[in-house]
Structure formats: structure tokens, C-alpha cells
Copies of this chain bind each other. A is one copy, B any other.
Amino acid sequence: MPSYKAPLRDLKFVMYEVLKADKALSAMPYYAGNETADADLMDQVMEEAARFAENELLPLNAVGDQEGCVRDAQGNVTTPTGFKAAYTKFRQAGWTGLDADPKWGGQGMPHVVNIATSEMNISANTAWSMYPGLSHGAYSALVAHGSDELQALYLPKIVSGEWTGTMCLTEPHAGTDLGIIRTKAVSNGDGSYAISGTKIFISAGEHDFTDNIIHLVLARLEGSPEGTKGISLFLVPKFLVDASGKIGERNGVVCGSLEHKMGINGNATAVLNFDGATGYLVGEINKGMNNMFTMMNAARLGTGMQGLGLGEIAYQNAVAYAKDRLQMRHEPRVTPSEKADPIISYPDVRRMLLTGRAYSEAGRAMALWLALSLDTEHHHPDEAKRKEAADLVALLTPVAKAFMTDNGFNIAVQSQQVFGGHGYIREWGMEQFVRDARIGMIYEGTNSIQALDLLGRKVLMDGGKKLQGLASQVEALVNEVADDEELQGYADQLGKAAGQIATLTMVIGQKAMQNPDEANAAAVDYLRYMGHVTYAFLWVKMAKVALDAIKAGKDKDGFYKAKLQTAKFYFDKLFPETKMLSATIKAGGESLDVDMGMFGVEKDMATA
């Protein structure tokens, strides 16, 4: 069975040494007032989270995969053995409200701490982590858009974990394209609405953890305009709730079936049938899509975390196996008393391991940076700082979601490869990481959709302003390390790539003015390029901190030297992907503009 040790040392390195999060948070009255910006407290929370993930969640990971969730004829769902008990411990310890507002019973901890703990939960048990994860999304939507009445009635119980929440968006014919959903809402004349329709792919959509489940549902109010401008958001509880918060009769929503999936089997992916279910409007009529989008940044970063968490645990187990497995004889011999040497002795095996390490460490830095920026966006007293943080979050969230999940999947695949044939066998657990990691690239907006969001909405429609914000930070860092002999080479590569992405943006922008398909054709490669610029920036930043620590004589255990070596690996072996991307982006969309007959499409689809 796979093992897992939470990367506390690295989390603290990023949080305090690289981001100086404790200092930054102390400048925000909200956290200062809650007394939650304290490094000691943050450490305690992370250490406790590490214990919970390692001891409570990890042992249930394989069980969840094997057993899956089971639905009975009435639509009740039983989660895998141990899942409910772990959830009960989790909520009793206060984890469900970790970064929730104390006003609703939350702990008021910074989002950056919550993101750190979520990495550990995901590593240990991705499928389980999605139950509180989805609930957190519902909390955010209600905080941002719910009426006082809805907030007072539902938030305390969602924050305490007594009830959980879901997000109901997708329908069988409408995934990326929510503008064409058919679920409808009809006014009941008493302020409530009757919701009818079918929602699919609802993660944590039905389960036995709690007495009630609060669904947030996108639906079209009768008479609303077509498309995304006619969609509203409704709260639909599984059981109706009276004014005192007491659970009443069953509402008209039932789990019609559970999907059989490639992975995340421990999470119930439900088809939910709404049949005149009573729902309550959240936010304004026809603003449902906007309301969803306001919390999308947090949800997408949360999905990116699945790439990070699964990559990390896959990497850790590949290292353990590579040290243990003896095959062939390295020259010179490493364990001459044995018939063969540990496979970690071979550079190619270390190439696979270091790929996991370099991507995971940069991903962790990116995730915490964005989470701290979310804290800044929401709580900094200075409006300019809030705006700056909001711009960075807007720009880099699609990158975090897509780049981290793509990399996480690839790390899982490469880590599985280290195991040879044993990696293909279920008992070793590596193939589960691959299957579990695959979904992150698909849901919460496919990675192609993230790329279109980045290039179209965040860069081109914005005239490159947000991109310029990042470029300024890159430039400042490049200048900061310009005289540093050890870092010059990296800074040089980073500076050139930042310049190159500005050029590529112009090239694409000009082509796209003639033909919008050109942006669509370039988007995925562009996002990966942006991912590398971001990771290169963070690797230079981390290398600088590490180098300073070494110079100050603080590297007793080799932690900082390892950072420098991993930075070198990143620039030598991973960053050169930008050379390929630069070429494929420059080649443009011409080669994609093929005769559709090659796919068996009639000459003129419009006549079909």
C-alpha cells in the first residue's frame, strides 16, 4: 500500500521563506483581528492536518477505490467503509469551517492555510477530499450571493459540516455550454420556486455523511432570455428546512443513478433528478452564471490542487520504490553486497523522479501564491493591492487549474513507470493515482476551456494588462538576481521567455483579429507556455531564497541545496518545452484548417 508523509517542510518553506505569508496576512485587519495570521498557529494547523491525512484518510484510499459508492433502489447512497466515520472526525475537529467566517462559526483561518491542508487531504484520499471540497464551494457561493435569510439558515450548518453542499451545473447535453441547460424553475408564488430537470456528474451529489445536502442548482426561470443571460442560481435542499433550521419533509430531488468511472470511485458522482423540487433564489434572477463565476477561481484552484496532491504522493512512492528495488549493476556498484543496485542509481530513473519533484514543488509555490493572493484580494485594506491581487488571480487561475492537473497526471504516469510491471498491478496503488488524476484535466472546465479563458478573456480581451502585471514582477526578479552568478543563467532564460510570451501574444492577437479560430488554435500551447513562465519565475524565486540561506550557513540538512539542484533540473530538462511551444504557436492555425471530409464530415455541415 502506498505511503504518504505530508511535505510540511516544503509547505513552510514556501509559506514563510518564499511568500512571507505570515507578514502579509498580519497586514490584513480581518486576519489580524481573528488572530489567525500567526505563524505558530498556522504551523499547528498544518501539522494537525498532516496527521489527519496520514493517519485517517490514507488508509481509506484503496478501500474507497475498491468498494466505490453504492446506491439502493430508493436512491440512497452508501459511501465506502470508513468514509463516514472519517468525515465525522473531520467535522468534529472543526476542519469544515477552517477558513470560513467566524460570523458563521468558522475558524477564520487564511485561505492559504486551507489550501495547504487541502493538498494533504487530496494526496491521502482524493475521492474523500471532494465531499468537504464541494461543500466549501457551496459555502462560498452562499456567502457571496445568498440573502441574509438563506445565509442565516444554511451557512452555520454547512460551516459546521452538519450538512454538506453541492454544485449542480452539467446536464446530459450541456457541459462546457451551460447556456443551453434545460432545467427549469417556476415560481411557486410564495417566494420559492419549483425546480425540474436532470443534472449529471454531481460530485458528492448523494451520500450518507450528513442528514441533509444543500444543492446549488443552475436553472432557467420560465420567461428568461435564451443563453447564459437567462440562467439563475437556486438553493435546493435534499430535505426541506423550517425557519428554525429543523429538517422537515423530503424535497423533490432524488439520486437517479451513480456513474461508473475511471477513478475517484470513493466519491459519489450522481445523476440528480429534480421533480418540482422546492428551491430558493440565490442572488439576482438571471445572474446565475455570474454568481457561479465569482467563486470559480477558488474552485478551479481547488481542482489544480488535485494535480498537485496526486503528483506529490505518486512521486513519494516512486522514490521509495526506486530506493528499494534492486535491478542491474550500476558502474560503479552502489550496493556491492547485493546482486544488483537500487534503480535510483540510474540517471533515467532520477529523471522521472525529479520531474515529479520539480513540478510538485513549483506547483506548491504557485498554489500558495495564488491562495495568498485570494486572501489579499478579499481582505487587504489597500484597494490597489486588492486589485493587483485580483488581476494575478484572474490571470493565473486557469493556468493553475490546467498546468497543475496536466503535470499531476504526467507525474502519476511517470511515477507508475518507475515501478515497472508492478506499477500496473492494483495492489501497489500507483495505477489508482493515474486514474484519480485523470479527472482533474476534464472537470471544472476542461483544460482546453481553461486555455481559452486565459488567452481570450484574461489576456486578449484585457489588452494584455494583467499579463503586464506578471511581467513587471518577472522583470523585478530578473533585475534582483542579475548580479548573482549562480542564478544569472536561470534569470536570463526566464527573462527571455517572458519577452517571448509578449511577442507570441501579439502574434496571436493580430492573427485572431482576422480569424477568431487562430486564438482557439493557439490556446492550449499558450497556456503551457504561461505555465512555464510562472514556474520559472517561482524557481528563480525559490533558488534565490535557498542560495541566501546557504550563504548564511543555514543549510544543515541539505534542504536548500536540494532546492538549487531541483531548480537546475527544471531549467535543464523541463523548461525547454517552451522551445517546442514557441514553434507550434508560431505555426498558427493553418494546419488545423483541414478539409473536414477527412473526418467523414459532409462538405457543408450547415445543410446536414
Residues of A within 8 A of B (CB): 170, 173-177, 180, 200-201, 259-263, 319, 322-323, 326-328, 331, 333-337, 339-340, 342, 344-351, 353-354, 357, 409, 413, 416-417, 420-421, 423-427, 431, 434-435, 438-439, 441-443, 446-448, 451-452, 516-518, 520-521, 523-524, 557-558, 561-562, 565-566, 568-569, 571-573, 576-577, 579-580, 583-584, 587-601, 605-606, 608
Tell me, in angstroms, the Cα distance from A61 to B426 when the chains sit together: 20
Contact B327 A606 (CB under 8 A): no
Tell me, in angstroms, the Cα distance from A441 to B423 when the chains sit together: 11
Residues of chain B contacted by A346 (CB below 8 angstroms): 517, 520
Residues of chain B contacted by A427 (CB below 8 angstroms): 260
Contact A593 B340 (CB under 8 A): no
Given A175-B421, A417-B441, 11 other A-B residues pairs in contact with their CB atoms under 8 A: A262-B435, A263-B424, A323-B601, A334-B605, A335-B608, A336-B606, A350-B594, A413-B438, A558-B597, A565-B591, A572-B588
Residues of chain B contacted by A342 (CB below 8 angstroms): 605
Contact B201 A421 (CB under 8 A): yes
Q: How many copies does the complex hold?
A: 2
15 residue pairs from A and B, CB less than 8 Å apart: A173-B326, A177-B340, A259-B425, A333-B606, A344-B601, A346-B520, A348-B452, A348-B524, A351-B592, A353-B599, A354-B592, A435-B435, A561-B598, A566-B594, A576-B584
Leading 3 A-B pairs by shortest Cβ distance: A562-B598, A576-B583, A262-B431
Question: CB within 8 A of A451: which of B259, B337, B344, B348?
Answer: B348
Contact A261 B424 (CB under 8 A): yes
Residues of chain B contacted by A424 (CB below 8 angstroms): 261-263, 438-439, 442-443
Residues of chain B contacted by A571 (CB below 8 angstroms): 591
Tell me, in angstroms, the Cα distance from A334 to B608 when the chains sit together: 10
Residues of chain B contacted by A438 (CB below 8 angstroms): 413, 416, 424, 431, 434
Report the nearest B residue to A518, measured CB to CB: B347
Contact B260 A426 (CB under 8 A): yes
Interface SS majority for chain A: helix
Question: CB within 8 A of A599: which of B200, B262, B323, B600?
Answer: B323
Contact A558 B595 (CB under 8 A): yes
Residues of chain B contacted by A201 (CB below 8 angstroms): 421
Contact B421 A595 (CB under 8 A): no
Residues of chain B contacted by A452 (CB below 8 angstroms): 348
Question: CB within 8 A of A262: which of B337, B344, B426, B588?
Answer: B426
Residues of chain B contacted by A605 (CB below 8 angstroms): 334-335, 342, 345
Residues of chain B contacted by A591 (CB below 8 angstroms): 354, 565, 568-569, 571-573
Tell me, in angstroms, the Cα distance from A259 to B424 when the chains sit together: 9
Report the nearest B residue to A578, measured CB to CB: B580
Contact A420 B434 (CB under 8 A): no
* A151 CB to nearest chain B CB (Å): 31
Tell me, in angstroms, the Cα distance from A421 to B593 when the chains sit together: 26
Tell me, in angstroms, the Cα distance from A508 to B224 when the chains sit together: 67
Residues of chain B contacted by A354 (CB below 8 angstroms): 591-592, 594
Report the nearest B residue to A565, measured CB to CB: B594
Most buried by B among A345, A566, A569, A576: A576
Most buried by B among A322, A347, A558, A594: A347
Contact B592 A569 (CB under 8 A): yes
Tell me, in angstroms, the Cα distance from A423 to B599 when the chains sit together: 20
* A512 CB to nearest chain B CB (Å): 11
Tell me, in angstroms, the Cα distance from A242 to B320 when the chains sit together: 50
* A168 CB to nearest chain B CB (Å): 14
Contact A351 B595 (CB under 8 A): no
Residues of chain B contacted by A350 (CB below 8 angstroms): 592, 594
Tell me, in angstroms, the Cα distance from A325 to B373 when the chains sit together: 38
Residues of chain B contacted by A441 (CB below 8 angstroms): 417
Contact B594 A340 (CB under 8 A): no
Tell me, in angstroms, the Cα distance from A569 to B170 when the chains sit together: 33
